[in-house]
Chains A and B, each alone.
Chain A
């Protein structure tokens, strides 16, 4: 079980609305799942992942929720090369420059 210390930068999770309590205009598939929220801040007590904790956000708000991550990072990236793009590049240059070197 991963633990976190008071003062750590963490992310917490809340259920804002339970499935079945969603707004009436929401489509069926969304009605079947809860409205969830994540926010980051500084942990106010030692805790383990999954514990209910209190954080202070960068704007100074106090928020309670379930501890989900310590030092939450960014995992989005460029990923693998998409070879279709090379085909576009080559085609564009061929049309415009007639394939000349």
Chain B
């Protein structure tokens, strides 16, 4: 027990000190003093190489998941696509990982690293599959584990998906600390780190993100050996950005440089993520725009000083799908392909179903994840929960879905249409956040080049954006 001042303001003011102790990375070594920091140096020095990660993951039976061709879903979409169109869809069955999702890749490296540094346990703040992944890996590697979840609204009503993850974490022997809605979860998280001296198994460390690189690398190699080429597009469910960043980096390491990296999120626009009343009016607790857009436009909002997940560096296209569309495709995956998997992981599958219809028949799309399913994490409980919360469920045009008010199941699968989110808008927003969060009125040439890399834009375009914002380059 600590005798330190545990008031909210006192703990928050010790944030940097607590974090440094709990993560074992001196982030200042990568800073430039301005907006820029050396991302690749951080990934290299604080992370692990692909070969090292492969070894770590192999030792805990993580990764090397099957790549399955969705022949019936492809046949279905070809019935809806114009003549000659309809790419083949393959899915990386990440549900085969020990904890039932790709998050095992991130957790395996985080827990390995914690153990290597001599920590006795790990703490992670997540309501998602990552909690179960860390709990599973902590069990495998012999460390203690605490998972902090945002779980309930003020009437102690919990999202079924999160309640299931609580059960899974406890099944793996972890302690689960559950909270009501609110970003002050971070305060509780800091208190736990300080009290226990455990490692912060953040989703956003260099080794966590490097853990996902094997996913991109594997799928590229599986395609190459099975089909003789890399896929034309990889569809990635996007929330905090780690799935997309890690997968894209793995694709590049495999040499799949021309493969398009497409992010997909469930559109939850209009629902405030920290609202007590809105909390249980959504049917997806991850893979949605409530994380996807803020984390893309400002990655450094995470629980580490510099986020290793920086999705705008890699994203070629970003599309949105609706809750009703994802439930529909979850059903399609079960009844047409015999794969019963969790809905949230099928966000990118839903987008792939639409995008494949724009692509030629000889092209390949890989949907790079599935997740486990079960009571709570399944269309039945999630739709029952929505109905119990006054959400209307009906068939119609998914275009008319209003998050928090209704869920519109497509009247016909031809109505499933991934909607493009204007990536340029996200990039401009990122630049604005750079300026605002660093409180600067001018940027250096080094910062300019950094922003260009961060946004996957050329220096000239970034210069124009800065000019429009009246920011000088010195």
Residues of chain A having any CB pair with chain B under 8 Å: 16-17, 21-23, 25-27, 29-30, 32-41, 57-62, 74-82, 84-85, 87-89, 91-93, 95-96
Contacts and interface: CB of A to CB of B under 8 A. Distances in A.
B182 A23 contact: yes
Contacts, number: 148
Given A16-B188, A80-B384, A92-B335, A33 B276 contact: yes
A80 B275 CA distance: 28
9 contacts: A16-B184, A26-B183, A30-B276, A78-B378, A79-B381, A82-B384, A88-B328, A92-B336, A95-B413
B184 A35 contact: yes
A67 to B, nearest CB: 15
A79 B381 CA distance: 6
Given A59-B196, A61-B195, A36 B154 contact: yes
A74 B167 CA distance: 7
B72 A96 contact: yes
Nearest to B180: A36
B379 interface: yes
Nearest to A33: B154
Contacts of A41: 175
Given A26-B183, A27-B275, A37-B178, 15 more contacts: A17-B187, A25-B274, A27-B272, A38-B178, A39-B175, A59-B121, A61-B195, A78-B378, A78-B381, A78-B384, A79-B384, A84-B383, A84-B395, A95-B413, A96-B72
Interface stretch (B144-152, B240-248, B424-432): B144-152
A22, A25, A33 — which one has the most chain B CB atoms within 10 A of its CB? A33
Interface string B380-410: 1101110000000101000000000000010
A16 B276 contact: no
Nearest to B183: A23
A87 B381 CA distance: 17
Interface in B322-356: 328, 331-332, 335-336
Minimum-distance CB pairs A-B, first 5: A79-B384, A33-B154, A76-B376, A76-B163, A78-B380
Nearest to A38: B178
Contacts of A17: 8, 182, 184, 187
Contacts of A89: 331, 335
B163 A74 contact: yes
B75 interface: yes
B interface, by DSSP: helix, strand, loop or mixed? mixed
Interface residues of B, number: 60
A33 B395 CA distance: 36
Interface in B144-196: 144-146, 152, 154, 156, 158, 160, 163-164, 166-167, 170, 173-184, 187-188, 195-196
B76 interface: yes
A35 B331 contact: no
B55 interface: no
Nearest to A60: B144
Residue picked from A32, A60, A89, A95, most chain B C-beta under 10 Å: A95
B227 interface: no
Question: Which of A33, A59, A62, A85 has the most CB atoms of chain B within a 10 A radius of its CB?
Answer: A59
A95 B154 CA distance: 45
A78 to B, nearest CB: 4
Contacts of A32: 276
B154 to A, nearest CB: 4
A59 B184 contact: no
A54 B177 CA distance: 15
B188 to A, nearest CB: 6
Contacts of B328: 88
B472 interface: no
A101 B187 CA distance: 59
A10 to B, nearest CB: 13
A36 B381 contact: no
Contact of B180 (A23, A35, A57, A78): A35
Contacts of B380: 78-82, 85
A13 to B, nearest CB: 9
A84 B336 CA distance: 17
A73 B233 CA distance: 44
Contacts of A85: 331, 379-380, 383
Given A62-B1, A88-B328, A76 B277 contact: no
